[in-house]
Amino acid sequence: MNWAPRVKPIKIRRLYRYARLGIYDDTLLHDVGWELYARCLDIAAVADVYRGGRVPCPKCSTKVARRIDPLFSSGEGGTHEHWFRCPHCTERLLWRDCRQALRNVPRCFDCRAVLHKEVMFRCACGKTWSPEAYKQSLRTRVLLPCPHCFDLVRRPEPPVQTVRHRQRSPELHCPKCQGFALHQHGNIECTVCGYKRRWRDYRKSLKKKDEKLECPNCQYTFRWQAWRKSTRSLRTGNPRPAREFVKKWLRCRTPQQRMIQIDALLQTLHGRGPLAPLFIDSGVHKIRQMLDDLAS
């Protein structure tokens, strides 16, 4: 895979030095911005693979589906969650994304208008929440607005999942004899050879398992583990800042807007130590130091 390189810190420093003097060097802004953009695209693409289980072909970028069911993997954030569809706009959703969208942009639980953030969160319809009460409510509510259409969606039921999974994916095969196997009693149990293993261990071994992938478009073949290794510096449990930047960067029309978006991304990175090295080409401590300097 040809992943975009990380941005050189010297360029970022220069950018801020100029900005402090009120100079917006648009060539430099474009340079840094598009480098960050390419990097963000890659981070988002890698995150998508971990969610959707479709790997971009290294040659032609066609998405190649993995045979190992990605819905079992812990995916982003590390919690086991399931996709569901918004009944209104049919967008594919994860409950945690519904929550996260409201943490970013709080909306009224009642009328779903965007709340005014003062000391209290205030809606034009008259409702108010303290930020704490709002946060608390986010965690416990079973109805939240869809992040796409803002119609209410119901939190999917987690406990019956194994049964439903089994029906939806009947193609569970014994790793030993490839015979028909069942997920029952917390095990994978082969109906043919009697093979039996704890379900959790079986899933773990699948995650580590290599897989040969063939691109349906250009017939290029590559291996899942090799691909995975190439993404080591692009993997994060929190691809949201990268996704946000991709969206917002494209909307920038002026040098000032470009500086604001670059700064917004770097500010986010500043608040989240482990994210910064994904974007900036330097040691963790040096990046920390630089971001501290820029923020001061």
Q: Which segments within 83-168 are labelled E, that is strand? A: 84-85, 92-93, 116-117, 121-122, 128-129, 143-145, 152-154
Euclidean distance between CA atoms 111 and 272, whole angstroms: 33
Nearer to Zn ion, 107 or 228 (CB): 107
Report the residue from 192, 226, 260, 284 that binds Zn ion according to the rule CB under 5 A: 192
DSSP label of 280 = B
Least distance from Zn ion to the Cβ atom of residue 25, Å = 39
Least distance from Zn ion to the Cβ atom of residue 107, Å = 8
Nearer to Zn ion, 69 or 263 (CB): 69
What track of x and - describes contact with Zn ion for positions 94 through 133 (by CB under 5 A)?
--------------x-xx-----------x-x-x------
Whose tokens are 């998508």? That residue is 48
Nearer to Zn ion, 43 or 215 (CB): 215
CA 42 to chain CA mean position, Å: 11
**Helix%, strand%, coil% for the chain, nearest 5:** 45, 15, 40
Nearer to Zn ion, 7 or 86 (CB): 86
Nearer to Zn ion, 2 or 27 (CB): 2
Site for Zn ion (CB under 5 A): how many residues? 30
Report the residue from 38, 41, 138, 149 that binds Zn ion according to the rule CB under 5 A: 149
Q: What contacts 58, CB < 8 A, 6 or more positions away?
A: 1, 2, 220, 222, 227
Cα dist from 210 to 77, 189, 206, 225, whole Å: 23, 22, 8, 5
CB 75 within 8 A of CB 81: yes
Closest CA to 104 of 89, 115, 119: 115
Least distance from Zn ion to the Cβ atom of residue 83, Å = 10
DSSP label of 115 = P
Segment interacting with Zn ion (CB under 5 A) among 8-16, 169-177, 249-257, 260-268:
169-177
Residue 163 binds Zn ion, judged by CB under 5 A? no
> Tokens representing 216?
């349906």
Report the residue from 3, 34, 54, 62 that binds Zn ion according to the rule CB under 5 A: 62
- The contact set with Zn ion (CB under 5 A) reads 57, 59-60, 62, 86, 88-89, 91, 108, 110-111, 123, 125, 127, 146, 148-149, 161, 174, 176-177, 179, 190, 192-193, 195, 215, 217-218, 220
